[in-house]
Amino acid sequence: MDDGFPRFDMTRPPLKCLWFLKPIIWLGVLPGLLLHRTRLKKTGVKGLKPPYLLLGNHNAFFDMNVSSIATFPHFGNNVVAIDGYIGRENLLRWIGCICKRKFTNDVMLIRHLRTVIKQGGIPAIYPEARYSLCGTTSDLPESLGKLCKLLNVPVVTIICHGHHINHPFWNTRHERGVRPTEAEMKLLLTKEETEALSVDEINDRLVQEFRYDDFRWQKEKKIRVRKKDRAEGLEKILYQCPACGTEFRMKSSGVHLFCSECRKTWTMTEYGELEAEDGNTPFSHIPDWYEWERENVRREVADGTYTSGELRVSVESLPNAKKFIPFGEGTLVHDMEGFRVDITGKDGKPYQMVKDVPSQYACHVEYQYLFKHGDCIDLNTLEDTWYIYPEGEDFSVTKMALAAEELYKAYRRKTGKPLRLGLI
């Protein structure tokens, strides 16, 4: 794409975290852990020294704070999406971060991970590649087991609980003071096991380890959220009314979620459950509602009828880590063929981004991104990222995210390639 903008240099090898920054980071993250009274359990890692591969689940930025303390006195090289580098590229490089554009097949990343291993470090990856939309496991890439075998080091997992409840992705304006939160750092595979086990066997272990549900955890641990606006933003993930079936008309206010079409209303309790005001509550558990929406999308895909329709969009580009660049306006269509974006750039030239179904098993979305534009989808090539903002209200980026996953699964089934539970 010849737009004239300089590109982020993805080829620069990762550094070890500069020694004088380590104590600053550890001191910086410690107050948060004390505030949330984080309980860190370690299993099988006593005496373990780098190099090893660290894999964590991803619900909030606080995940990285916990990982920084969990690996003490060592420091991991975190894989970070390019938007995390905006305005602080040098700092992130100095602390050892590795840049990645989401849902791209990046050979350079593999090279950087191997460099970290050779340096005796800890490559730290969040393989779900995005914050969980509703506090449950996102699909893991099918290549994860291959990566473990390629790096040929022990595999350690860190699974955190409570971070979604404290700072849900659908409303990131403020934290909710959840305490205590929990995390378990666990030696999942020894070096000998990564050598001896097959890719499928490694993937099976990873799938089992990455099963979590923050809302169920909240209920079981009896964690109360007393915030008076705790339901606000919930319509971002619960976009379809189970009472009347209408899409894109869910609204929220305070502790209430309601459908503007049929006026049915739910209250979100302090324990994260939903209660319908009329007493008929088909989904009290929020992830159950979310999975019901997925089933509806799956039926549309199976029927061959899924489409977002043609949506007017504005697009910002992120070719490097300096700033977002207003790029142009045009249209977005997400349908049975995948994503297609056609815009006219600020320079008057036409530009297009096409991501067909086989090219990505999932996509990344944002809600009220940076609190300015609204909901968006970001689509990536190895050289650029487009942040695509649809106009109007007759859409849901959550539905597009679900559809991207279900379209890929349908493609795999059609081509006879097996699907593994939790991996696509």
Q: pLDDT for 65-78, tens place per residue? A: 999 999 999 999 99
**CATH architecture under which domain 306-414 falls:** Roll (2.30)
Task: Give the pLDDT confidence score for residue 417 in this predicted structure.
Answer: 77
How far apart CA 49 and CA 121 sit, in angstroms, is: 9
> Cα 347 from chain centroid?
33
Q: pLDDT for 183-192, tens place per residue? A: 999 999 999 9
Q: pLDDT for 101-133, tens place per residue? A: 999 988 999 999 999 999 999 999 999 989 999
Provide mean pLDDT across the span 256-277: 98
Identify whether the C-beta of residue 108 lies closer than 8 Å to the C-beta of residue 11. Answer: yes
- Per domain, the residue ranges of the chain are 22-221, 234-302, 306-414
Identify the CA nearest to 201 among candidates 187, 211, 184, 188.
188
Question: How many CA atoms are closer than 13 Å to the CA of 199, on its beta-carbon side?
Answer: 12
List alpha helices for 285-381, DSSP H: 286-303
Identify whether the C-beta of residue 182 lies closer than 8 Å to the C-beta of residue 39. Answer: yes
Identify the CA nearest to 199 among candidates 268, 257, 147.
147
Using alpha carbons, list the distances in angstroms from residue 332 to 294, 341, 387, 392: 21, 5, 12, 13
Task: Give the pLDDT confidence score for residue 228 in this predicted structure.
Answer: 96
For tokens 């089933």, the residue is 295
Task: Give the pLDDT confidence score for residue 369 in this predicted structure.
Answer: 86
Task: Give the pLDDT confidence score for residue 422 in this predicted structure.
Answer: 64
pTM score = 0.95
